[in-house]
Amino acid sequence: MTDLFKFLAWPFRLLWRLIDGVRRIAANLVLLFMVAVVLAIIFQPGPSVPKDAVLVVRPSGDIVEQTTLDEPLALLTGHGRPTQTALADLLEAVRAAAKDERIALLVLETDDIESAGLAKFDELRAAIAEFKAAGKPVLARGERYSQGQYYLASIADEVHLSPDGYALLPGFASYSTYFRNALDALGIKIHVFRVGEYKSFVEPFTRNDMSNENRDATRALLEGLWGRLRADIIQARKLTPEQFDGYVHDYYDNLKTARGNTAQVARDGGFVDRLSTRGEWRERQLEKIKETRSGIASGNKEPPRVDVGDYLAAIRAERAHSRSSAHIAILVAQGSIADGDQSPGNTGGDSFARLIREAREDDNVKAVVVRIDSPGGSAWASELIRHELELTRRAGKPVIASMSSVAASGAYWIAASADEIFARTTTITGSIGVFGIFPEFVEPMNRLGLTADGVATTPLAAALDPRLPLSADAANALQLTVEHTYHRFIDLVAEGRKMKAEDVDRIARGRVWTGEEALANGLVDKLGGLDEAIAAAAARANLADYTVTWPVLDANPVQQVLQQLLVSAGVGNVAALKPSPASRIMRQVNDGLDMLALWNDPRHVYTHCLCVAP
């Protein structure tokens, strides 16, 4: 019998040895790959900046305030997040290049940009304008231009377009999906508690259409943003208002005249200077350098190009020895605000409060700039963060708030107590209002033949069980909590902005404002970007020499090392894949579901804005 078992078992032993051998070979290959990458990084010479170079600014994917780490396995399989480019890196490179004699020309290529709020484009345009003011030319090209891409490109001295391209300027629109009929059909009852007639976030659950208050406020907001974009493009392109409006409003007629040639429409309208192929684009760069710099070899077929990543690596290595021990810490509050610890891309009340506390207790940190790009979220988490910033101020360290594309609702709660608040003219802010939302699933359960029954020791024990009808007392309690939080919000803003509570209430009520309007209403101190906020922090801390640092939450060291190795080896998330229209819709749906999953305020009270930066 033993011999029979041995005979029957030998194929399985052979199979196991084969599997184990393959596993060992795979592990050794991965190890050898990592060793090879490490050696390549160690012995690879650092990037250098050649003379008469072209700085190539080609943002990829979403332009964000702070990039987030992908899991190394996701990088290897290509299933990571959409590519991201940090706005701060672009600003640093462009502003340094303006003063760098080695950089002769800035080239802006917009094709890989997926999304960025208008305020981010606005801030990057301002940096490029500074580059131009230094007497250096800027060329821009796109195979085709979306509205945001063109807004960025329009600041260039010369705008190129592919002969088969287009430049679309459709304007801004805001449409929401309303669920009232669907929820009624399913029998789901949504209990909503809010203060502020303009607090529109809950409307999709309670209405079938946009309220008049929301319609008026949204129209005013979009018209303000459109007016700024329109004015900036008119100024940069030296157009008349009639030319701009004719291009936008009469696009079909213009296209009909040009027999469907979209590139010709853009050129004839004065929105682009040249229609160029990729080869002609490269030739034009060399011509432009020869026009502005003497001593360029006539036989050169292409100018030396350096991208933003290599340029930053070079200049950071050059100035590494001069880093000051006095730091200004930039803390980025990005994405929805939720309770507890949150993963990168969102702002956790506990995790971000810990980041602030670490900066406050670091003797090298002399001031803090909170860079905010968030529509808000949990009121509880927002207050935890605001309180830590208040403690930082009391400890004698200045706190400056710098608003990016969106800093509304709970994000404004965070900023309210800062020493100074900076916003771009196109920032979306305000939305000082509060709501609570609670779903009830009694009817859908009844339809399925499900019931809930049991006992409770007090009326509150099962008051927030969605399987049971919400009692009048529980509903009244939630409304009272929302009203209390709203008045708390008003008082915090009044104290921080040195305003009367009734004056804050007049411009609150959930109303959303542009940065320019917020300045007029006293909600921000100055219009400006990150650089202006850093300068204000340095002035308040009496710093003439300082280093800017970007503290981040502790991440898995292995994950950080592996990702850096993979990216350095060219395996990482280095190029943007063009998503299809269907994938864009699915991404929006997925982002919305992810946001709903973050609604974990312990009191079910939120200060969130239904506002997306156009």
Query: Is-contact 311 47, C-beta < 8 A?
Result: yes
Burial class (CB in 10 A: 0-12, 13-18, 19+), 302: exposed
**Given 154, 200, 382, 409, the catalytic residue:** 409
- 575-582's contacts with Cβ under 8 Å and 24+ in sequence apart are 575/60, 575/83, 575/112, 576/60, 576/61, 576/82, 576/83, 576/112, 576/114, 577/83, 579/82, 579/114
Cα 394 → chain centroid: 30
397 part of the active site = no
Three-state secondary structure of 473-530: HHHHHHHHHHHHHHHHHHHHHHHHHCCCHHHHHHHCCCCEEEHHHHHHCCCCCEECCH
**Given 199, 288, 366, 397, the catalytic residue:** 199
Burial class (CB in 10 A: 0-12, 13-18, 19+), 58: middle
Q: What is the DSSP letter of 418?
A: S
Query: Is-contact 607 379, C-beta < 8 A?
Result: yes
CA gap 400, 331 in Å, rounded: 10
For residue 535, give both structure tokens. Answer: 């300068």
CA gap 79, 118 in Å, rounded: 28
The number of beta carbons lying within 10 Å of the beta carbon of residue 228 is: 20
Query: Is-contact 332 351, C-beta < 8 A?
Result: no
Query: Is-contact 165 142, C-beta < 8 A?
Result: yes
CA gap 570, 128 in Å, rounded: 29
Strand order in the sheet with 61-64: 84-86, 61-64, 113-115
199 part of the active site = yes
DSSP reduced 3-state for 136: coil
205: part of which helix (H) or strand (E)? helix 203-206
Catalytic site residues? Answer: 199, 409
